[in-house]
Amino acid sequence: MSRSGELNYLRAIGPDRARHAFDKPFAGGGCGPLLADFGTFASFFPPPPRTLLDLGCGTGWTSVFFARMGYDVTGVDLAPDMILAANANKARYGVENATFVTGDFERLDYENVFDCVALFAALHHAEDDAAVLRGAYRALRPGGVCVTAEPGVGHTKHPITRAAVAEQGVTERDMPPSRILRLGTQAGFSKGEAFPMIPDLRRGRLRALKWAIWAIAFPRRNGYAVLTK
C-alpha cells in the first residue's frame, strides 16, 4: 500500500472531517470514551517530569495532553499537514513543552533520548511495524517504557476501516497486543505486558460485561501493550 494515503489524509477526508480531526478529543459524540481510553493509556507511563516521544502524533492532541500533564514531548508524524495542525493545536492550548517534527516513524534515528514512547492508534498504520518498535527501543533510555493502544483482532473487517482503505488509501492492519509483544521482544525489550481496554458502557451493562470478560480472558487480542527496555 502506498504511503501517499497517510501523507494526504487530511486533504482527502475533506474540510469537515479535517476539522473534526483537529478538534479531537472534543469533537463529536465520542469524546467521553476517547478520553477514557486515553486516560487509561496515559496511566501506564511513569509520572512526569520525563521526556516522551509521541509517534504518529497526527494533529497533536495527544502530545498536547501529555505536555499539559508535565511531560517534555516530541511529536513525530509523516504528514507535513498533520504537523501544521499539531503546531496550531500547540498554539491554541498554549503549551511550550511540546515540539513537533515531520518524520517517518519507521526510520527513527533517536538513540537513548527518551523515557517514554507513545503509540496511540498509530502503529496499525505502519507498513513495517517491526521497524517502528525497533526504533522505539533505540530511542528509549534503559528502563524506558513504550506503550501502545491499537485496534486488535477484527479491525480490518470493520466497514469503516474498509472504507478508509478504499477511499483514502491508508494502511490499516489488525494490531493486537500479541503481535506487539512478540515484535517488542524481537526488538530487544526485556519485558512486555498486555492489559484489556475498558469497555464502552454506553452499549449496555450486559454487553459491556460480556466484552469485559472476553477482554480479561484474552487480553492479547485487543488492548494495551506495555514494553519496558
Query: DSSP secondary structure string, 37-103?
Result: HHHHHHHTSPPSS-EEEEET-TTSHHHHHHHHHT-EEEEEES-HHHHHHHHHHHHHHT-SSEEEEE-
**CA nearest 117: which of 37, 186, 52, 188?**
52
Least confident of 51-55, 113-117, 172-176, 217-221: 217-221
Please report the pLDDT score of residue 154 as a whole number.
67
**Grid coordinates standing for 151?**
485496534
Q: H/E element holding 191? A: strand 191-196
Residue 159 pLDDT class (50, 70, 90 cuts): confident
**CATH number for position 139:** 3.40.50.150
CA dihedral 56, 224, 113, 131 (to 10 degrees): -60
* Structural domain range at position 64: 4-228
Q: What value does the mean pLDDT take over residues 50-68?
A: 98
Q: Is residue 7 within a helix (H) or strand (E), and if so which, with residue range?
A: helix 4-7
Average pLDDT over residues 42-66: 98
Letter string b/e over residues 84-100, b meaning 16 or more CB atoms within 10 A of that residue's CB: ebbbebbeeeebebbeb
What span, in angstroms and rounded, lies between the C-alpha atoms of 119 and 108? 14
| Distance from C-alpha of 126 to C-alpha of 204, rounded to nearest angstrom | 34
- Count the domains in the chain: 1
Q: What is the pLDDT of residue 39?
A: 95
pLDDT of 108 above 90: yes
| 199: pLDDT strictly greater than 80 | no
pLDDT-derived band at 7, boundaries 50, 70, 90? confident
pLDDT tens digit sequence for 120-142: 999 999 999 999 999 999 999 99
Res 84 pLDDT > 70: yes
**2-11 mean pLDDT:** 79
pLDDT bin (cut points 50, 70, 90) of residue 1 is: very low
Rounded to 5 degrees, φ, ψ at 9 are -60, -50
